Structures are given as C-alpha cells and as structure tokens.
Amino acid sequence: MSDLCFYKNTTSQIQILRISHSTNCDFEEIVFPGEQMLFEAFPQAELEIHMDSTTGTTLINKILCSNLQVYG
C-alpha cells in the first residue's frame, strides 16, 4: 500500500525528483526553490534528488519515502 509523502525544496536551485525502488518507476518532477509537493509512494521506495550540473544531472541525495510520510 502506498503512502502520502511530502517534500519541500529548501534550496535556491531547481531540483529534479525521481522515485526508485518502486512500481511507480516513471515518476519524475521538477521542483523549484521553495516549492512543496505531495506524492504517493511505497515506504520502501527512495526519493532521489538530482540537480543540473555542467555534465548533466547529479544525484545529490536519497531519502526513504517512509521518512517523508504524512501522518494525519
């Protein structure tokens, strides 16, 4: 069962988000500085955070989606 997750780009740069280790393998979103987003993912999935660089995109962080789960 997937969970509702929350992420906020707290940097001053545009980020590209992708979900790995999930059945929803085509998830990719561009997130602008200060932008917040809600998305559904399985707890064992990982949110990959990429940023543009001169050589393409660079993976800067991975966060388990279970750590981004919204509790209500």
Domains identified in the chain and CATH numbers: 1-65 (2.60.40)
CA dihedral sign, ordered 66, 16, 51, 59 = positive
CA dihedral sign, ordered 31, 53, 41, 25 = positive
- At 54 the pLDDT is 85
- 19-70 pLDDT, tens digit per residue, is 987 665 678 999 999 999 999 999 999 999 999 988 889 999 999 999 999 9
- Where does the pLDDT of residue 1 fall: very low under 50, low under 70, confident under 90, or very high at 90 and above? confident
- At 20 the pLDDT is 87
Q: For residue 51, give the amino acid letter.
A: M
Enumerate the β-bridge partners of residue 53: 56
pTM for this prediction: 0.86
- At 55 the pLDDT is 87
Q: For residue 62, give the amino acid letter.
A: K
Q: At 29, list the tokens.
A: 């979103």
CA dihedral sign, ordered 32, 39, 60, 51 = negative
